[in-house]
Amino acid sequence: MKSSLPKVMHEIAGLPMISHVTKLAESLNPDTVTVVVAPSMDDVASTVSPHSTAVQKTPQGTADAVKAGLQNTRTEEGSLLVLYGDGPLYTKETLQAFVSDYEENNGCGLSFLAMKPENPFGYGRMITDENDHVIRIVEQKEANAEEQSINLCWTGVMCGDIAKIRNWIEKIDNNNSKGEYYLTDLPKIARETDSDKTCYSLCAEEESLGANTRGELAKLEAKMQKRLREKAMENGATLIDPDSVTFSEDTVLGQDVIVEPNVIFGPGVRVGDKCRIRGFSYLEDVILEKGCVIGPFARLRPGTHLEDGVKVGNFVEVKGSHMGKGAKANHLAYIGNAEIGAGSNIGAGTITCNYDGFDKHKTTIGEGVFVGSNSTLVAPLTLSDGAYVAAGSVITKNVPEDTLAVARARPIMRDGWAKSYRERKSKKD
């Protein structure tokens, strides 16, 4: 990746790859989830918390990684499912079916999740017997021409009896070109040690994809976005130009939501029914209730909550604020750390001055308040219900209920000044 970040910490749809995998594991209701990390991966350990981590002191292959994980697990009965930290595209349905197939296949001590890619180059080939049981798995570099022609390939995911795997792992040696311990040796050992059948189940190639380069990371992102867009539309949202919309893994859209082109949903966005998100808007960690209209070119920042029918228009930024039913800020405004009551109108060019250089302060605007264009509201400040702020005002004191506030310099009128000024300038020319 050419990155200071561990590979699994790179994000897909706003979530680190490793978090996609742990969430997927959680969905299967396991007794425990253990993540194997290198000694320097404190950020990974923090990200996967509260799940436990096991440290692989030196990278000595996939079998060594599983061995490290088993040392952190006291369970002696049941099944062990092995997943890869850079495999964010597997679905719950696929893994559930895989585990069920294994558990229902009597006499199968070990099962591998396999695929049949169009181009098998680079993948470990799965060699099977006349009963379609896995005899061995051959890496690309060690496969002969006949074996390389096989398109049954291992994804890296496997499931087996945890007690037996503990025993088999100990029998794996590092007699290979890299001097590492590989899980691909397990089929042979399982058959020789316990005469166990080694089985496999198939999944779509797309689900097995990982990432070792930025280009591969981009491909994973594209496939995840396609999946999220399809899910949104299946659940009743309209995406006018789906390919231009970017989702986060946890984005929730209600029914009859309309999303115009070039909208970005950052993490933590929930959009209620019948909202419309106009083009080029950016939303992150916000809640929109029913019937809101956002944008175009709006930015909704973390901590924003908009109630039914709120309108946030073009070039309006809202951060850490709550807007009541029917409130609106239609043009060119900044609303930060504010509480705005139902039916209030925030005029074009209005800003809440919430930061004094050291601390953030709150602006409280009651119900039915009108704030005229180009107004500056200096927090901490309260505009009570029904208050009216004249355009161009700088408000530094609380405004009582139903009161007009005018805070601007009186205009100075000088008759004939403009004409004389133009004449003076013309003579110089």
* pLDDT at 59 (0 to 100): 87
* pLDDT at 429 (0 to 100): 62
326-350 burial: b if 16+ Cβ within 10 Å, else e: bbbbebbbbbbbbebbbbbbbbbbb
Write out the catalytic residue numbers: 331
The model's confidence at residue 195, banded by pLDDT at 50, 70 and 90, is confident
The model's confidence at residue 187, banded by pLDDT at 50, 70 and 90, is very high
Question: 7-208 and 214-405 share one CATH topology?
Answer: no
The secondary structure of 197-248 as a DSSP string is EEEEEE--GGGG---SSHHHHHHHHHHHHHHHHHHHHHTT-EESSGGG-B--
Measured between alpha carbons, how far is 258 from 251 in angstroms, rounded to an integer?
14
How many C-beta atoms lie closer than 10 Å to residue 29's C-beta? 6
> How confident is the model over 196-217, as a mean pLDDT?
94
And the tokens for 112?
Answer: 């591998």
Measured between alpha carbons, how far is 254 from 273 in angstroms, rounded to an integer?
4
Given a contact cutoff of 8 angstroms between Cβ atoms, the answer to whether 316 and 332 are in contact is yes
Domain edges within the chain:
7-208, 214-405
> How confident is the model over 45-62, as a mean pLDDT?
94
Report the mean per-residue pLDDT for the chain.
95
Instruction: Supply φ then ψ for residue 193, to 5 degrees.
Output: -80, -50
Return the CATH class of domain 214-405.
Answer: mainly beta
Inter-axis angle of helices 17-27 and 92-104, to 10 degrees? 50
Question: Per residue in 95-141, pLDDT tens?
Answer: 999 999 998 887 788 999 999 999 999 899 999 999 999 999 998 88
The model's confidence at residue 77, banded by pLDDT at 50, 70 and 90, is confident
* pLDDT at 176 (0 to 100): 79
Q: Pick the range with the lowest mean pLDDT from 69-83, 221-235, 297-311.
A: 69-83
Measured between alpha carbons, how far is 402 from 413 in angstroms, rounded to an integer?
31
Please check the confidence at residue 298 and state whether its pLDDT lies above 80.
yes
Please check the confidence at residue 74 and state whether its pLDDT lies above 80.
no
Please check the confidence at residue 177 and state whether its pLDDT lies above 80.
no
Nearest Cα residue to 66 out of 46, 45, 85:
85
Question: Per residue in 344-392, pLDDT tens?
Answer: 999 999 999 999 999 999 999 999 999 999 999 999 999 999 999 999 9
Measured between alpha carbons, how far is 216 from 323 in angstroms, rounded to an integer?
42
Please check the confidence at residue 258 and state whether its pLDDT lies above 80.
yes
> How confident is the model over 301-307, as a mean pLDDT?
98
Measured between alpha carbons, how far is 245 from 254 in angstroms, rounded to an integer?
16
DSSP state of 8: G
Percentage of the chain surpassing pLDDT 70? 100
Q: Which superfamily, per CATH, for 7-208? A: Spore Coat Polysaccharide Biosynthesis Protein SpsA; Chain A (3.90.550.10)
Given a contact cutoff of 8 angstroms between Cβ atoms, the answer to whether 375 and 352 are in contact is no
Given a contact cutoff of 8 angstroms between Cβ atoms, the answer to whether 63 and 185 are in contact is yes
